[in-house]
């Protein structure tokens, strides 16, 4: 169900640099001869999701005054590979974001509707859903920086239904050897400029 827009990104020590619109992006150092791994980029869904909006507002207790300033980006995922859609959503705005990143929710489908499985902080996009599986769940790889922390990639693994918090993730030197997809690969600034971002409430 996820979008399929693809871009080329190169990863450097200080962050992401978009280079061109191609079918994959390179990972690793910028030095000559660095190995290149395919990580397909997936843009966030473009259709508003009212049920998801409601659960975001209720879970994070976002005041009404902030709703028109708060955007959300989501993708359907299947992290535990059971064939059922889950949702990973990043919520961006003055109430949910800071210098270290934004708040994110891992949402699952239940017989009663959507339910929040886990709340993350310090989340930056894109989020790499790795092909590597630990304890039956795909690992997540994210960039951890800001708030006094120098930029680094960390691996989040799931145990007993919950992932490692970003600030406790296992640090890695780079993206060498990692394959998978990078969800929410949107150019956030461009989306805002072009009016494509999804807001929790329209003006």
* Terminal alpha carbon distance of the chain: 28
* Domain assignment of residue 3, yes or no: no
Per-residue pLDDT, averaged over 16-35, amounts to 34
The answer to whether 180 and 128 are in contact (CB under 8 A) is yes
Residue 180 forms part of a structural domain: yes
* Cβ 153 vs Cβ 124: under 8 Å: no
Domain contains 66: yes
Q: Would 200 be classed as within a structural domain?
A: no
* Residues paired with 163 in a beta bridge: 158
Measured distance CA(124)–CA(130) in Å, rounded: 16
- Residue 37 — very low, low, confident or very high, per pLDDT cuts 50/70/90? low
Mean pLDDT of the chain: 84
At 129-188, the pLDDT tens digits run 999 999 999 999 999 987 666 789 999 999 999 999 999 999 998 898 899 999 999 999
Q: Is pTM, for the whole model, over 0.75?
A: yes
Kindly state whether residue 201 falls inside one of the protein's structural domains. no
What confidence score (pLDDT) does residue 125 get?
97
Residue 143: inside a domain: yes
Alpha-carbon distance 57 to 87, whole Å? 15
- Is residue 127 a contact partner of residue 140, using CB atoms and an 8 Å limit? yes
pLDDT at 23: 35
In percent, how much of the chain has pLDDT > 70? 80
Range of the domain at 167: 8-193
Query: How many domains does the chain contain in total?
Result: 1
118 within some domain: yes
Residue 202 lies in a domain: no
Cis peptide bond prior to 174, omega within 30° of 0 = no
């Amino acid at each position: 169900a996820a979008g399929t827009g693809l871009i080329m990104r190169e990863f450097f020590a200080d962050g992401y640099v978009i280079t061109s619109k191609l079918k994959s992006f390179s990972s690793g150092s910028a030095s000559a001869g660095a190995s290149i791994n395919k990580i397909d980029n997936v843009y966030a869904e473009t259709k508003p999701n009212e049920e998801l909006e409601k659960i975001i507002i209720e879970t994070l207790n976002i005041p009404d005054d902030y709703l028109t300033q708060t955007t959300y980006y989501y993708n359907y995922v299947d992290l535990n590979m059971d064939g059922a859609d889950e949702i990973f959503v990043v919520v961006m705005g003055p109430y949910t974001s800071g210098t270290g990143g934004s708040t994110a929710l891992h949402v699952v489908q239940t017989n009663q509707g959507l339910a929040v499985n886990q709340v993350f902080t310090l989340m930056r996009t894109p989020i790499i859903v790795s092909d590597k599986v630990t304890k039956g769940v795909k690992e997540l790889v994210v960039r951890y920086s800001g708030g006094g922390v120098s930029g680094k990639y960390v691996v989040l693994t799931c145990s007993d239904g919950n992932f490692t918090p970003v600030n406790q993730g296992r640090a890695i030197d780079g993206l060498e050897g990692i394959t998978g997809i990078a969800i929410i690969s949107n150019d956030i600034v461009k989306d805002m400029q072009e009016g494509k971002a999804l807001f929790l409430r329209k003006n």
